[in-house]
Chains A and B, each alone.
Chain A
Amino acid sequence: MSDNHRGIEGLPPAMTRLAHELARLPGIGEKTATRLALVLLSWPRERVIELAESLLEMKERVGLCASCFGLSDCATCAVCANSGRDHGIICVVETPADLLAIERSRSFTGAYHVLHGALAPAQGIGPDDLKIGPLIARIEGRPAGSVREVIIATNATIEGDATALYLAKALKPLEVKTTRLARGLPTGSDLEYSDVATVSAALSYRREL
């Protein structure tokens, strides 16, 4: 346990333990964690059980969609299972958070594919560590011509650009139209932190690779 979580005299060990766990969350410091623990202590027992069960349920049920590798609590996610969406267009993103950013913009009705990262050779992340092979298999597994376009929506960073380039090359033999999000996103910014209008603009002004 770090010095920060040595425990405060007057705070029972059970609360120190909870505060320590809460402080692992992004944006939560020691003070906030202690305040949250105090709030949780004041909750009725049933609500605390509800919270604890929802955490466990999420952990036990949520996995990855076998087709697009987005988050899902069954083998095929809601997007992949939705026959109202256009499965002829696949938008490739780095992370599930990026997928949600595009969904929030309500400007895309196709399917997704989540790579789970971008090329980062110095971190030991190469093409085989991303879901690139499964994307190719997914397109090859469909009748020829049924995937009309792959939109590469990796971040506008150097690693995102290199990943887009690698993907475009890997997709070339499949003869699928490949596009890249327009640089509506300021260079170096994450999709995840872009506003709805920016995401829509980047989608509508995508350019062919």
Chain B
Amino acid sequence: MAAEERAAAIVLRASDYGEADRIVSALTREHGKLGGIARGLRKSRGRFERRLEPFSHVMLCFRRRPHGELVFITRAESAGLEVYEPGDDLAKFALGAYMLELSSALIREGSDAAGAYDLLAGALGELCRRGASNALRQAFELKLLRWAGYGLDFSCCRRCAVGAGEHDLRFAFVVAEGGLLCERCRRASSTGAQALAPISLGQLQRLTILPIDAACAEPAALADAGGAINRFIAYTLERKLRSLAFLEAMLPASVRAQS
């Protein structure tokens, strides 16, 4: 039998399986994204101090099985890890569920995901302490995309490198470019272009650079910027996230400039 391993984990998805088992997908710091099965979880609570449900932050004990099958989750302990409980506010719950789904979609099993784990843990912590905001949403999206190799650049035109805000040029985000094109370079034929107001450009740059806790204190970029990130995510994943509609109902995009 394989040796028991331990890892701090955030549960991304969980579903009941059969009468008492649960199938779990969790993001660990040391072992990336793991799929596992917890046997007898719903009936015997002894081995499982905490329930395994989305948002659970636990020390997972597990044994690997051959051929990349689901690992056997043997225990789950609270181990003093920060508890995320976004169920007391619908915007928090909606943004949290969206963060988990986006993580699930962008992180592949078996890849080193320490950076993504730290980012998700930090973002869920801020979410539960300070509540949901579009700034937190956008900062998380931009940072997770960057971690996954899709760093978006809002500083200058991808073609001619003219800086955003220079020469009174208008800029648009072009999904297929993963960045901006100035109005001179943007051909009429480019698809998926989203015009961005100068104030949004500046804000997107700040949210990209600032650490997640500082980004939360910033005003969000406006709806145009949110729309640009949305389009890029849908383009990259080739689908819309399922939690998006509920998120947009519970946490509408900012439409006016915030002071």
Report which A residues bind B (CB closer than 8 A).
Answer: 26-27, 119-124, 126-127, 157-162, 165-166, 169, 186-190, 193
Number of interface residues of B (CB under 8 A): 33
How many whole Å from A165's CB to the nearest CB in chain B? 6
Beyond A27-B19, A162-B86, 12 additional contacts (C-beta under 8 Å) are A26-B19, A119-B246, A122-B54, A122-B104, A124-B243, A158-B86, A160-B87, A162-B87, A165-B93, A186-B45, A189-B45, A193-B43
CA distance A162 to B54 in the complex (A): 12
Contacts of A119 in B (CB 8 A): 93, 246
Looking at the complex, which one of B18, B20, B51, B246 makes contact with A121 (CB distance below 8 Å)? B246
- Residue B117, interface by CB 8 Å: no
- Residue B100, interface by CB 8 Å: yes
Looking at the complex, which one of A121, A127, A166, A190 makes contact with B101 (CB distance below 8 Å)? A121
Contacts of B88 in A (CB 8 A): 161, 165
Contact A159:B87 (CB < 8 A) given known A27-B19, A121-B243, A122-B242: yes
Report which B residues bind A (CB closer than 8 A).
Answer: 13, 15, 18-20, 42-43, 45, 50-51, 53-55, 85-90, 93-94, 97-98, 100-101, 104, 241-243, 245-247, 249
How many whole Å from B65's CB to the nearest CB in chain A? 15
Contact A165:B89 (CB < 8 A) given known A27-B19, A27-B20, A159-B53: yes
Residue of B nearest to A123 (CB): B242
How many whole Å from B106's CB to the nearest CB in chain A? 13
Contacts of A160 in B (CB 8 A): 87
Please name 16 pairs of A and B residues whose Cβ atoms are closer than 8 Å in the assembled complex, sorted by A: A26-B20, A119-B246, A122-B104, A122-B243, A126-B246, A157-B53, A157-B87, A158-B93, A159-B53, A160-B87, A165-B87, A165-B89, A188-B50, A188-B51, A188-B53, A189-B45
CA distance A203 to B100 in the complex (A): 33
How many whole Å from A128's CB to the nearest CB in chain B? 9
Contacts of B89 in A (CB 8 A): 165
Contacts of B15 in A (CB 8 A): 123
Contacts of B55 in A (CB 8 A): 158
Contacts of A159 in B (CB 8 A): 53-54, 87
Contacts of A187 in B (CB 8 A): 51
CA distance A165 to B88 in the complex (A): 7
CA distance A122 to B54 in the complex (A): 9
User: Are B242 and A158 neighbours in the complex by a CB distance under 8 Å?
Assistant: no
